[in-house]
Structure 1
Amino acid sequence: MLVTVGVHSPKFVHEGEPAAVEAAVERYGVGHPVLDDPTLTTWDAYAARAWPTLVVVDPTGYVVAQMSGEGHAHGLDVLIGELVAEHEAAGTLHRGDGPYVAPPEPRTALRFPGKVIALPGGTFLVSDSAHHQLVELEADLVTERRRIGTGVRGPLSEPQGLVALPTDVAAEVGYDVVVADSVNHALQGLSLSSWELRRVAGTGVQLRDRVAVGDTAEELSTPWDVAWWEGQVVVAMAGSHQLWSFDPRTGQSSVLAGTTNEGLRDGPPSDAFFAQPSGLAAGPDGTLWVADPETSALRSVVAAPAAGAAVTTAVGLGLFDFGFRDGPAPDEALLQHPLGVAVLPDGSVAIADTYNGAIRRYDPTTRTVTTLARDLAEPSDVLVDGDTLVVVESAAHRLVRMPIPAGARVDAGAHRVRRARTDLAPGPLQLTVAFTPPSGQHLDDRFGDPTSLTVTASPPSLLVSGAGTAPGLVRTLELAGDVTEGVLSISVAAAACDEGDGIYAACHRYQQDWGIPVVIVDDAPTTLTLDLRAV
């Protein structure tokens, strides 16, 4: 009755390789056909603006809805119900099995492992992400000592980052390791003595609201890595583009840095932008290093009690620039979607440069990048173990050990995202966000305007006026004439309630974020219209 077809329109060069697409389908358990669209032909045909974009086509071949982002389950459910009734009555609805044929299930000891830590006694704990388990390995990185997890989504669902708590903290709270349980939107506590898990943060439901620096929340959003820093567990909250802190003693989670806007912006934690932070490592000098994959960047956070904490960029240029090039940073050196970091004995930083299949090295003293190892299969984490590195070679389903090499210089070129830009004219720009509540709902205007619109820009000088947050879905912006290109970050929220009587009607919050690359061109359009929903 409902056929789902995925269209893979890659952002990064590596994602356009057929083998990478096939691996991603298996890694995430995709149970429907996927069309590989490396040249963005289908992307352009459907006028997509953002990842992901959802298009609903009715049984007669007409596009009846298009929406971008996540959180559309309720509206889709209502729309599909209406379409089923309409086309069943018209005789145009066809029922039957879909076209998907599942491939044979692979057999490897590990399946797309994510992260690794060393345990007391010389063993290693690895997140066996696609098996939804944790595995303790002997020092040979092959022999299994024990596992935890059912092997299917449930108590663990694509676990990723791991961090061992200090012994005094572990004794106080009753567990030794904090696990970033990404798809369950939770943190789990693992006791090494009893080999038992318990949820210590998160509700199992993804956070949808915006939470500002310093504020707390019970729900989490795709935690990807964890590290012990400044007396707390820092969480790379990939789903909200932020860093959070978790106190094991109190069980409280709060925002440490990031605005929820996706991008590359340095400054105080309350102003900084991240882009799916996915790797963390704390240095002995107090620096917290962050792998920020969607900007292909290495970031750092330094806690300075007098001046306050600061977020800076060591390597990386932004959302749309990446490559494989060594040299001075941040001007020349380029990464491609790094997922892991570790601090080397000399204070430099090893980077799991995932989509380049390499381990890179950043020297904070000289601010240069070199390459330590190449030809790896999507390395997702790196761990220092004495005078060697333990690398999680995720797409090869294994861990490997290698000596820490001196490094060599590489220049394999630079790339820019091939996503189409939006041409806009300098001067006044009429921004309109269209929102139609799903059938059976109405705007919740009991307490005034139920909408909120936030606009920022990178670089900030792209916007002469119109930035900030205010009610309403229409706003006049002014674009600078002396900035040739940039990114408009637009966030909107609206509330709607079910039709019905009085205070008992259920209400729903709809939210969407866009990062729109723009080019300033004379005589280009002076209007920009976006759809929050189209159902």
Structure 2
Amino acid sequence: MRVRAPELRGRRWLNTGGRELSLTDLRGRIVLLDFWTFCCVNCLHVLDELRPLEERFADVLVTIGVHSPKFVHEAHPHAVEAAVERYGVHHAVLDDPELITWDAYAARAWPTLVVVDPQGYVVAQMAGEGHAHGLGVLIEELIAEHDGAGTLHRGDGPYVAPPEPTTTLRFPGKIIALSGGGFLVSDTAHHQLVELDADLATERRRIGDGARGLIDSADGVPARFSEPQGLAALPPEVAAAVGYDVVVADSVNHALRGVRLADGRVTTVAGTGEQLRARVDVGAAGAELSTPWDVAWWRDRIVVAMAGSHQLWSFDPVGGAVTVLAGTTNEGLRDGAPHEAFFAQPSGLAVDDAGTLWVADSETSAVRSVVAEPVVGAAVSTAVGQGLFDFGFRDGPASSPDVPALLQHPLGVAVLPDGSIAVADTYNGAIRRYSPQTREVTTLARDLREPSDVLVDGTDLVVVESAAHRLVRVPIPAGARVDAGAHRVRRARTDLSPGSLELTIAFTPPTGQHLDGRFGDPTSLTVAAFPPELLLDGGGTAPGLVRTLRLTDPGAGGPVEGVLQVSVAAATCDGGDGEAGIFAACHRYQQDWGIPVRLVPGAPGELVLDLRAV
């Protein structure tokens, strides 16, 4: 049974020069309807898949994007206009905020593609991405059928290009500070990187010629990017070893690029330019990537927010290996071990002083954290967020069962001086703050246009206000700053002897509880130091409550003062001195210390800390 295609109805048309279209107007052409929404990375993949088809069949195929929003922000008229420009949509778009046409075609997923033949009948409907080849075959069959029947009309389509933008930046994505001063910004819609002075306006240079492509620098040929996003500076010793200083998440090229700042040379360091299609299991290496959106240096590797496959990956610049770090490729919100966790378009990364990786998990409107070696519990945890279909704009306790704090499609995170997390809450047009200590969410700034990244610069936040095509400064509130007064707060130093130090954690379980050793040592002790040179041996995480450390010798050129960082956890179960039953309640005790120390010959060679079981 042939089904007549329902009429196209919505709020307005874009990319048609103000003209309203109907299927009657398009009779005699093959019409491809692309139901999309601009938050959806799979929809963005389809936009790129359709470009070659639109060029190949330009005289017979009319592509119409039917924008069908998921998030509230995506229904705003200006947001739709910005998205059409941002992603280089070169076909007519029907803005359908009330999902009228979506419902008429019984669409159920983003993206959905519908093919209408030249006589106005639906001949195919498919969901998801990866259909370019099949669409090409179907279009060729329709051309042959309707050309022979005289029902195919060739000619130009209804697309009318909008005016060319004139802003200096165009939908910038991410920003990093450069060690020599100034900033590096991904000028995403211009397909370039821009190096700026501290005033955020004066350009030092541009990297890339501005045309969309995947070309490395060579013999005077300028490099090309395709919607570059995340940036990460390598440590100097790693940069010296590999020959480039910055890793770039080149999102639409599905590649990581390396940039040498001395001369702007660009090389491709991971990815083939083709999007990963097959499922990749944890630990497997792969040459193909899927829409890398952000990058950060973490635990001697580059961690990659692989938005297209809903995972975190890692990249070793020295060895070149690319491996899965966390996530199953299932899209959702699930905590747990790395190989069990679900993500949904991770898009922003930051690392705090304790080594925790913070993730803006955009499609679940969440902020997640990843701990490499958790003492107990999950490696991947959710700080803020409820799931794929829960979002909003609400301050308050993140863990409230009734009225939890809510975000809307965040794309960036940064660590504030006090250890709290600044969040670029993109679709709420706000900068939010999450406190790991209180688990509270507050709002630092509002009325921004799609902030996509945030960077701490002294007492300011530098915000990438993407839809306003600019960078702005927002003062960090005093409560989130570590200012001169905070730095001057004095704690009594502990004098310790250089060399061997016996560290003991004193812990006595409360009455009625015992250390639960049924599954191994139930304790975990982590030791580190700042500066790192203070601690020569005994650092890291291992079971036990006693450890022998070796401290540096100031007489041999080591530091005289520093901070010894100690973290301990212990698990107990009810049941007195006997074995706990299977239904016994278990308890976890944890404490962290930052102990200012001074190394003095003849001082004590032991340190006893008390883990309170309360």
Instruction: Assess if the C-alpha contact under 8 Å between 1:186 and 1:201 holds in 2.
Output: yes
CA 152–308 in structure 1, closer or farther in 2 if over 3 Å, else same: farther
| SS of equivalent to 2:143 | helix
One-letter amino acid matched to 1:353? D
Instruction: Assess if the C-alpha contact under 8 Å between 1:317 and 1:330 holds in 2.
Output: no
Q: Are residue 106 (structure 1) and residue 165 (structure 2) matched?
A: yes
1:62-77 matches, within 5 Å, as 62-77=121-136
TM superposition shift of 1:304: 1.1
1:467-486 matches, within 5 Å, as none
Aligned CA-pair RMSD: 1.2
TM superposition shift of 1:168: 0.5
Name the CA distance, whole Å, in 2 between partners of 1:165 and 1:34.
41
Q: Which residue of 1 aligns with 2:256?
A: 187
One-letter amino acid matched to 2:276? L
Q: Are residue 281 (structure 1) and residue 353 (structure 2) matched?
A: no
Q: Which residue of 2 aligns with 1:127?
A: 186
Query: Which of 345, 358, 362 is equivalent to 1:293?
Result: 362
Q: Which residue of 1 aligns with 2:454?
A: 382
Question: Which has the larger share of strand?
Answer: 1
Query: Which of 329, 339, 344 is equivalent to 1:270?
Result: 339
One-letter amino acid matched to 2:467? A
Instruction: Assess if the C-alpha contact under 8 Å between 2:335 and 2:378 holds in 1.
Output: no
Name the CA distance, whole Å, in 2 between partners of 1:407 and 1:323.
25
1:203-214 matches, within 5 Å, as 203-214=272-283
One-letter amino acid matched to 1:115? K
TM superposition shift of 1:241: 0.2
1:297-446 matches, within 5 Å, as 297-304=366-373, 310-331=379-400, 332-405=404-477
Larger Rg over CA atoms = 2
| SS of equivalent to 1:322 | coil
Name the CA distance, whole Å, in 1 between partners of 2:461 and 2:405.
22
| SS of equivalent to 2:391 | strand
Query: Which of 220, 237, 240 is equivalent to 1:171?
Result: 240
Name the CA distance, whole Å, in 1 between partners of 2:255 and 2:399.
34
CA 339–140 in structure 1, closer or farther in 2 if over 3 Å, else same: same
One-letter amino acid matched to 2:200? L
| SS of equivalent to 2:241 | helix
One-letter amino acid matched to 2:101? T
Q: Which residue of 2 aligns with 1:7?
A: 66
Among the aligned pairs, what percent are the same residue? 79
Name the CA distance, whole Å, in 2 between partners of 1:363 and 1:263.
24
Name the CA distance, whole Å, in 1 between partners of 2:202 and 2:399.
41
Instruction: Assess if the C-alpha contact under 8 Å between 1:268 and 1:310 holds in 2.
Output: yes
Unaligned residue ranges in structure 2 (runs of 5+): 1-59, 214-223, 481-614
Question: Given the two structures, how large is their TM-score scaled by the length of structure 2?
Answer: 0.66
Name the CA distance, whole Å, in 2 between partners of 1:72 and 1:166.
41
Instruction: Assess if the C-alpha contact under 8 Å between 1:215 and 1:255 holds in 2.
Output: yes
Q: Which residue of 2 aligns with 1:217?
A: 286
One-letter amino acid matched to 1:373? A
One-letter amino acid matched to 1:174? G
Q: Are residue 159 (structure 1) and residue 228 (structure 2) matched?
A: yes
1:441-520 matches, within 5 Å, as none
One-letter amino acid matched to 2:289? L
- What is the aligned residue count? 408
Instruction: Assess if the C-alpha contact under 8 Å between 1:370 and 1:407 holds in 2.
Output: no
Q: Which residue of 1 aligns with 2:549?
A: none
Instruction: Assess if the C-alpha contact under 8 Å between 2:360 and 2:366 holds in 1.
Output: yes
Instruction: Assess if the C-alpha contact under 8 Å between 1:371 and 1:407 holds in 2.
Output: no
TM superposition shift of 1:308: 8.6
Q: Are residue 197 (structure 1) and residue 266 (structure 2) matched?
A: yes
TM superposition shift of 1:339: 0.1
Name the CA distance, whole Å, in 1 between partners of 2:446 and 2:474.
12
Q: Which residue of 1 aligns with 2:151?
A: 92
Name the CA distance, whole Å, in 2 between partners of 1:68 and 1:396.
33
| SS of equivalent to 2:393 | strand
| SS of equivalent to 1:352 | strand
Name the CA distance, whole Å, in 2 between partners of 1:288 and 1:227.
9
Instruction: Assess if the C-alpha contact under 8 Å between 1:372 and 1:407 holds in 2.
Output: no
Q: Are residue 39 (structure 1) and residue 98 (structure 2) matched?
A: yes
| SS of equivalent to 1:15 | helix
Name the CA distance, whole Å, in 1 between partners of 2:379 and 2:119.
55
TM superposition shift of 1:255: 0.2
TM superposition shift of 1:330: 3.3
Q: Are residue 260 (structure 1) and residue 340 (structure 2) matched?
A: no
Name the CA distance, whole Å, in 1 between partners of 2:120 and 2:399.
48
One-letter amino acid matched to 1:316? G
TM superposition shift of 1:95: 0.6
